Amino acid sequence: MNNKHQLNSNSNSSNSNNYNHDSSQPISLFMGAKAYAPLTVLSTASNHLLKLEEPIRTFRTYFKPREYGELLVKFWHSNAADSTWSLGVETGAGDFGGNWRIEAANLADGGEKPSGEVDPLSVIQLTFDGKTERNVRPGERFWSDEAAFVIPNNHYIAFTWAICVNTPEEQLAYNAETLLASAYEASGNRVDQSSADGYTLQENQMVLPALIAYEKKVAKQIAFLGDSVTQGVKTAMDKYENWVARVAEGLGTDVGVWNLGSGWARSSDLTIAQESAWMHKAIQCDELVLCLGVNDLGTLNRTGPDIIADLAAIVATFKSYKPNGSVILLTLPPFQFMEEQEIAWRHVNQIIREQSLQGVDRVFDIAQVLSRPEPEDNLIKQAYMSGAGDDAHPNGLAGEAIAEAFLKWY
């Protein structure tokens, strides 16, 4: 497993130097000579490290942009895992990706259906300081160059890149959850190939840059930081029916929305270092919407006071970087917690509802939207469950209900 980054102002390790923000880049990802905003509300948070089966693989992912027409686009990447996968045996929050190389990358019109094909006449090559290739170091953060791109109304954008590793041990950060966007993979370098030949649709493997941005001046940037409930896991692929996507639609494009939801994530992922890879993303924004704790209970069996302490630490860290920033804390969604877990769930939500955590500006009660009537309020409403009605991840109908309540409250 790669080294974890424990941020220390006195650290002189090579990994720490790689991981610190490049002094040649703006302090904020979104502000500099130009203003930028996230182009998609699809979460591109990373929760796992991938070993390639062969030296070169090509990844093609389709996403719905927030705006259409003529765009100036660039991407930013962080070569580290944001959060912990499962029990943390394979990947933990802050683990670095390895040494690898971008062989080529492009944007293209993916059409109205994400079929694996792209319009060959629409392809725009992406570069890095004018070069089509780029070597990536462990924990490194970097920008691509800006590129002019045109996408027709209601078409998907296809992002394609070929990644090369020198040894099978080198890994790259990716998202391993049930996919919310069509993602394809192929052997070798097929970046310039417009057909779907050789591409295979993936089930739980999305390899995308950490941020795909476009030139856009917005009133504020909001980071939605959470686990699979925030990411939208188990909602329909390519439909953008999860609650964060629907909130973004309701707020309009004058508000930047960065979905940092990451499946399997827990509050402790953000307290292992003063500035984790995940927190570094959140502090780029003006407002933090925080919804964490479900996996702390359901996976780790942590206590209510432990979770409250973590949430308080996350808020304090955000405010230390953004003293004028705003924090909205959400209650823990119901996730079929029983016995000791239910007691801890109720304890955490009581503290949150009392608005007693320092630094929290507002509280949104997502549990109230999703819960069954008391005394079964620890259970999610049957109509809001995913799958065959036996999965507590909120479905698209729940996403609509949460977004409606949030927008009315907001």
pLDDT tens track for 143-155:
999 999 999 999 9
Shared-domain flag, residues 117 and 228: no
**Statement to judge: residues 131 and 60 lie in one domain:** yes
Q: If we measure between CA atoms, which residue out of 38, 385, 372, 58 comes closest to residue 213?
A: 38
Contact in structure between 19 and 80 (CB atoms under 8 Å):
yes
Summarised one tens digit per residue, pLDDT across range 113-159 is: 999 999 999 999 999 999 999 999 999 999 999 999 999 999 999 99
Q: What is the pLDDT of residues 280-322, one digit of tens each?
A: 999 999 999 999 999 999 999 999 999 999 999 999 999 999 9
Structural domain span for residue 352: 218-409
- Cβ(128)–Cβ(144) under 8 Å? yes
What are the tokens at 249?
Answer: 């639609």
Same domain? For 253 and 402 the reply is: yes
Q: How many domains does the chain have?
A: 2
Whether the CB-CB separation of 318 and 360 falls below 8 Å is answered with: no
| Domain co-membership, 284 together with 362 | yes
Percentage of residues in the chain having pLDDT higher than 70: 92
Distances (CA, A) of 38 to 35, 41, 386: 11, 7, 28
Q: Name the token pair of 1.
A: 């497993």
Considering the entire predicted model, what is its pTM?
Answer: 0.93
Residue 72 shares a structural domain with residue 156? yes
Whether residue 199 is found in the same domain as residue 223: no
Tokens of 176: 């391993």
Closest by Cα among 402, 68, 357 to 235? 402
Whole-number Cα distances in Å, 394 to 97, 377, 389, 390, 400: 31, 15, 10, 11, 10
Examine the pLDDT at 248 and tell me if it is beyond 90.
Answer: yes
Q: In whole angstroms, what is the distance from residue 341 CA to residue 353 CA?
A: 18
168 and 247 co-located in one domain: no
Same domain as 194, residue 82: yes
Phi, psi at residue 31, to the nearest 5°?
Answer: -125, 145
CA-closest candidate to residue 2, choices 164, 138, 168, 101: 138
Are both 207 and 265 inside the same structural domain? no
